[in-house]
Amino acid sequence: MDPRAQKRTNDEAAALAEQIAGKLKADPRRIDALVKEHSEIRLAGGEPYEVNEKTGFVPEFKQLALRLMLNETGIVRPTTATT
């Protein structure tokens, strides 16, 4: 787990999600900069995730990603425990 997340309460996580979503809604072109600044998951090469029906993500994340349209923003709170 990313050290930033380890120290964050649920309320702090919700506030951060709202803050980032607000920035993204204001200017969707900032997505790459916002991901670079706030992402707590590092991928080799920095390539974006490809999400489809077979993607092994937390179900709530996958459902939201598949539902969102281009430049649309959403926040999800998973009910599934993650480690």
- Give the mean pLDDT per block of 10 residues along the chain (83 residues): 86 94 94 88 69 88 91 82 50
What's the confidence (pLDDT) of residue 83? 46
Classify each residue of 59-81 as buried b or exposed e, where b means 16 or more C-beta atoms within 10 Å of its C-beta.
eebbebbeeeeeeeeeeeeeeee
What's the confidence (pLDDT) of residue 43? 63
Phi and psi at 76, nearest 5°, equal -130, 145
Could you tell me the pTM of the whole model?
A: 0.75
Cα–Cα distance for residue pair 4/8, rounded to 1 Å: 7
What's the confidence (pLDDT) of residue 42? 67
